[in-house]
Structures are given as structure tokens and as C-alpha cells.
């Protein structure tokens, strides 16, 4: 298993003020517009704002479930404790020409490098979690930082948002005003009338109001938990910054507006289908696909995750089908 370390290279004649980072045999550098990734046998380039938006998700989600594809070439696969950093591993052309490259890291070590890179490469005014219309630009020589934006705590409710001691509601007072796209969402509060003796066991809150106050996009947050069943609502606008490769079935409930999904084969990237989800639609994303979403207007989506990692093992070994139902 490789080690992940941070290094500062000697300044060059065109030093832009950014640090370079290494993880095993991978080396990451950025310039005004691009992230450059070199590795034994090749190099890869990505627009820096797309790279930072993807990096932000990989860091905030702790490498998430399955694969986080930064684009069709670069990405990570979560092994829950260790993580693979790869180039071309899930790309037909790279694989068939044996140009892919992969290294395995201790998850905490790679996350630390990623956090350092995100912090150093994110300039003042650029928020990698925000919709493009709600943030500044990522470009140029290093100028300032945006620590507040990149250190947001992802909501991970222990039981449910709003319960005593659990994740808090979003309000004007604690810095979560209603988003411009959701000005028409009622901000009412439900009345909960529990039978005597059950007051501590019944709870409800206005999820529409809660989501209308989300200040980030494409960031499924754990809002209610029953054992391994995690309801992870999120607000989406513009393009999902990663292409997510599932290692288990993932249910989507489109709560408002519309999202267009590109569905591809997880291993090869070959196109499988286009899915349009309108408000009220429900889909089960299979365990053997990758998907990227496009949300023309800010929309509300509930992502329903199964947090039982045994399910991923059962899918990987082919013991259970990649989809949850047959019609």
C-alpha cells in the first residue's frame, strides 16, 4: 500500500504560489486554469474548477460509496478503510491498451493530502460546493483562501434533523436563508401530536423548508436514519461534479423540478441510458452503473442509501442482482 504525502516543490520562474502534492507515485500540480496529474506512464489534465468541485465531494463524503469519477479517466474507489486512486481503471480505451494505473492508500492518508490540496488550491471567492451562478471563479495565481466554504460540516443526523442533540434546523438566524430558487416554498412547521407517553418517539419537520435553505449543491446529507437506511436529501443545480459509480442500489426520489441523468456502464463508461426525472418520479439506480446528473434549475432530490457494506460485497461477488426489482 502506498503512502500519501504533501510536498512543496522548489519555486519555478513562473511560480503561481500553489503547492504541489504527491500521493504515492501520483503528483498533482495546478496552474491558472488546470490541474495536472502525473503518474508512472502518463499524465492527465482537468479544468481546475471541475477538479476542485470533484475534490470537494470526495473529501466531504469520505470517498463515498463505490467510485467517484472526477471525469472519464481519474477517480477513486472506496474500499472502506483503504481507497484506490486510479487513472483509466474504468475507461475502456485505457484498459484495452493497458494504460491504466492504480494505487491503493490508507483512506485517512489520502484524505489528508486531498484536504491540503483543496485548501491550498481554492482561491478567495471560489466555493466548490456552490452552483456556478452563486460563486466566483477558481482561476488565476494563488489569491487568498476560502476555508469557510471547504470546511463545511456535512449534515449527518444520528436519527433525524431537529431532534434534541441531533442535526439542527436551518434558519435565517443560523445563516441559512431561503435560496433564490425556492422563494415560493412554504416555511410552515408541522404540528406533532403524540399520544401521551410517546412524546419522545414522534418527530416531524418541514423537509421542503429545510432543503429550500441548503447553501450547497450536489451534497447528499444524512437527514434521517433507521439502522442502515439513510435518507440523504440534497439540492441540485447545474452538473453533478463527479460521475458516481454505484457499488449498491441507490434510490432517487425527485422532489421538485427536473434532473437529466446520463447512465453509463460502471466498468467501461459505455452509455446505457438517458433518464429524465420529473417531480414525483422514483428511480432505483442499479449497482453496476455510473451516473451524472444535470439540473437546469435548482431542484430537490432525495437519495436513499443503504449503508450496509455487506450489500456491496454481495453485489461485487454477483450473489445478488444489481437491481432491486424485476417487472
Binding site for Fe ion (CB under 5 A): 244, 250
Report in angstroms how near the CB of residue 236 gets to Fe ion at its nearest: 12
| Shorter beta-carbon distance to Fe ion: residue 170 or 244 | 244
b/e map of 297-321 (b: 16 or more CB within 10 Å)?
Answer: ebbbbbbbbbeebebbeebeeeeee
| Shorter beta-carbon distance to Fe ion: residue 58 or 250 | 250
CA dihedral angle for residue 94, residue 96, residue 97, residue 103, rounded to 10 degrees = 50
Instruction: Give yes or no for a contact between 258 and 295, defined as CB atoms under 8 angstroms apart.
Output: yes
| Shorter beta-carbon distance to Fe ion: residue 250 or 257 | 250
Report in angstroms how near the CB of residue 291 gets to Fe ion at its nearest: 6
| Shorter beta-carbon distance to Fe ion: residue 30 or 244 | 244
Dist. CA 57–CA 53, nearest whole Å: 7
Separation of CA 115 from chain center: 14
Give the nearest residue (CB) to Fe ion.
244
| Shorter beta-carbon distance to Fe ion: residue 138 or 285 | 285
Write the CB contacts of 143 (distance below 8 Å, at least 6 apart in sequence): 123, 124
Beta bridge pairs of residue 5? 22
Report in angstroms how near the CB of residue 220 gets to Fe ion at its nearest: 8
Report in angstroms how near the CB of residue 79 gets to Fe ion at its nearest: 17
| Shorter beta-carbon distance to Fe ion: residue 30 or 57 | 57
b/e map of 43-62 (b: 16 or more CB within 10 Å)?
Answer: ebbbebbbbbbbbbbbbbbe
Report in angstroms how near the CB of residue 246 gets to Fe ion at its nearest: 6
Report in angstroms how near the CB of residue 78 gets to Fe ion at its nearest: 12
How far from each other are the two terminal CA atoms of the chain, in whole angstroms?
44
Amino acid at each position: 500500500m502506498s503512502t500519501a504525502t504533501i510536498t512543496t516543490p522548489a519555486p519555478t520562474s513562473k511560480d503561481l504560489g500553489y503547492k504541489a502534492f504527491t500521493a504515492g507515485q501520483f503528483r498533482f500540480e495546478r496552474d491558472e486554469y488546470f490541474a495536472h496529474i502525473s503518474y508512472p506512464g502518463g499524465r492527465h489534465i482537468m479544468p481546475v474548477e471541475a477538479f476542485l468541485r470533484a475534490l470537494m465531494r470526495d473529501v466531504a463524503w469520505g470517498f463515498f460509496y463505490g467510485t467517484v469519477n472526477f471525469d472519464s479517466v481519474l477517480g477513486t474507489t472506496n474500499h472502506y478503510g483503504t481507497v484506490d486512486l486510479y487513472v483509466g481503471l474504468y475507461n475502456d480505451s485505457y484498459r484495452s491498451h493497458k494504460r491504466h494505473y492504480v494505487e491503493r492508500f490508507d483512506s485517512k492518508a489520502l484524505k489528508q493530502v486531498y484536504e491540503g490540496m483543496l485548501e491550498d488550491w481554492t482561491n478567495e471567492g471560489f466555493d466548490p460546493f456552490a452552483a456556478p451562478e452563486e460563486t466566483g471563479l477558481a482561476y488565476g495565481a494563488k489569491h487568498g483562501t476560502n476555508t469557510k466554504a471547504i470546511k463545511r460540516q456535512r449534515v449527518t443526523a444520528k436519527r433525524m434533523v431537529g431532534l434534541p442533540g441531533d442535526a439542527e434546523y436551518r434558519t435565517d438566524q443560523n445563516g441559512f436563508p431561503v435560496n433564490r430558487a425556492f422563494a415560493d416554498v412554504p416555511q410552515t412547521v408541522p404540528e406533532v401530536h403524540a399520544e401521551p407517553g410517546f412524546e419522545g418517539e414522534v418527530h416531524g419537520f418541514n423537509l421542503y423548508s429545510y432543503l429550500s435553505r441548503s447553501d450547497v449543491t450536489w451534497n447528499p446529507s444524512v437527514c434521517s436514519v433507521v439502522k442502515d437506511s439513510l435518507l440523504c436529501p440534497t439540492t441540485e443545480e447545474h452538473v453533478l461534479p463527479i460521475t458516481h459509480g454505484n457499488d449498491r442500489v441507490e434510490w432517487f426520489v425527485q422532489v421538485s423540478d427536473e434532473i437529466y441523468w446520463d447512465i453509463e456502464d460502471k466498468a467501461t463508461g459505455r452509455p446505457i441510458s438517458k433518464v429524465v426525472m420529473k417531480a414525483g418520479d422514483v428511480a432505483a439506480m442499479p449497482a453496476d452503473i455510473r451516473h451524472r446528473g444535470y439540473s437546469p434549475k435548482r431542484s430537490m432530490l432525495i437519495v436513499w442509501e443503504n449503508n450496509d457494506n455487506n450489500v456491496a460485497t454481495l453485489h461485487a461477488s454477483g450473489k445478488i442482482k444489481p437491481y432491486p426489482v424485476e417487472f
